[in-house]
Amino acid sequence: MDKETLYARWLSGDISEEERMALSKSGEWADLESIIKTVDSLQIPKYDRTEGWEHFQKNHGRKDKPKLYSKLFSLKTLSIAAAAMLLIFAGLFLFQDNSTVINAEFAEHTTHTLPDQSTIILNSGSSINYLKDQWPKSRSLHLEGEAMFTVEEGSKFIVHTKYGNVEVLGTSFNVNAWGNDLYVECYSGKVSVENQQDRIILSKGEAIKFKDGQIRNKQTFDYGKPSWQRGMSRFMDTNIFDVFQELERQYDIDIHQNVVNKEFTGSFIHGNLEEALKQICRPMGLKSTIDSNRKSVIIE
C-alpha cells in the first residue's frame, strides 16, 4: 500500500499492521486523532431544504395540478373485500340485502354513526359490517381491521372479530384486530373481551392482547385516545410484517421487502414517511429506499 494515501487510509481503517505500528510509534497516530476529534466537534451552518424549496417555488410560479385519486381502483378492491367479508360471515348472519358495510380507505380514517347513535372511527383499510334492521334491540357488528368505538348506553353491544369478541354495555374502547392478534384498550366503562378459551373484563385504562389465541397479561395505559388518533401507530411484540402492512395502510404505499420475521416494539408517526421509516428500520437494523414516485418503498 502506498505512502501517498496513508493518512486517508488510516482514517478509513484501510491500513496494514505494519503501517499501524509505524504510525503509533512515530506519534503521527496521536496527532491525527486529536485533529479529527477537533474537526468532528465542529459543524457547518445548517441548510433548510424546505425553505429552499419554498423559495424556488416562489420564483418559478407554481403549476397547480389537480390531484387525481384513482377512485375507480379503490372502489374495486374494497368491494372485493366487502364481498369476501359477507361470505365469511354468511354462516353467522343470514345473508340479507340490508347488510351495511362501512370502509375506511388507505391513508384515511372514517367516522360512522350507528343506528343507536354510537360512533365508530375506522382506521385506514378497516371495515365493519352489520345488519341495520336488528338495531338498536340487538347491537352486533363485525370488524375487520381496527376501530375506536364510543358506545351509547343500551342493550348488549358486541364487536365480532376473527379472533375474538368484544362485548360492552356503554363505554368507549379501541379494538385492534389485524393479523393474528386481538388487542383491545378500554377508555371508559367496562369491556368484556373473549375468545374460545378465555374471557377478561377491562376497566378504564386497561388493555389486553390475545396473541395467537393466547391471552397476554393485562396492561395499563394513561392516554385518552388510541395512538392512531394521536398521529402515530404503536406496536408491542408485533410481527414486523404486520407493522409493514400498517405502514402501507397509513401512507397508501406498497412495500417490497425481503426481511426475516421478527417482532417489533415501538411506533411510527403519520404524515412523514421518511421519519416513519427511520423509526421502524433503525431499531431493526433495516434499510429503506423510497421510490421517486413515493408510492413504493423497498426495505431490506
Q: Does 8 bind another protein (CB under 8 A)?
A: yes
**Maximum Cα–Cα distance for the chain, whole Å?**
90
Element (H, E) at 51: helix 49-60
Q: Does 42 bind another protein (CB under 8 A)?
A: yes
Residue nearer to another protein on the CB measure, 37 or 137: 37
Which range of residues in 3-11, 137-145, 179-187, 191-199 is near another protein by CB under 8 A?
3-11
DSSP 8-state secondary structure symbol assigned to residue 295: S
Q: Does 43 bind another protein (CB under 8 A)?
A: yes
Residue nearer to another protein on the CB measure, 36 or 84: 36
Among 18, 41, 92, 98, contact with another protein (rule: CB under 8 A): 41
Burial of 214 (0-12, 13-18, 19+ CB in 10 A): exposed
Which range of residues in 36-44, 174-182, 251-259, 278-286 is near another protein by CB under 8 A?
36-44
Q: Does 73 bind another protein (CB under 8 A)?
A: no
Among 16, 26, 34, 77, contact with another protein (rule: CB under 8 A): 34
Residue 250: name the closest of 148, 112, 104 by CA.
104
Tell me which residues in 210-239 interact with another protein (CB under 8 A): none
Residue 124: name the closest of 9, 207, 209, 245 by CA.
245
Burial of 128 (0-12, 13-18, 19+ CB in 10 A): buried
> Can you spell out the DSSP letters for 59-127?
HH----PPP---HHHHHHHHHHHHHHHHHHGGGTS---TTEEEEE--TT--EEEE-TTS-EEEEPTT-E
Q: Does 52 bind another protein (CB under 8 A)?
A: yes
Size of the site for another protein (CB under 8 A): 35
Residue nearer to another protein on the CB measure, 122 or 297: 297
Among 25, 39, 72, 91, contact with another protein (rule: CB under 8 A): 39
Q: What whole-number distance in Å separates Cα of residue 207 and Cα of residue 185?
A: 4
Binding site for another protein (CB under 8 A): 4-9, 11-12, 28, 31-32, 34-36, 38-45, 47, 49, 52-53, 55-56, 59-60, 63, 65, 292-294
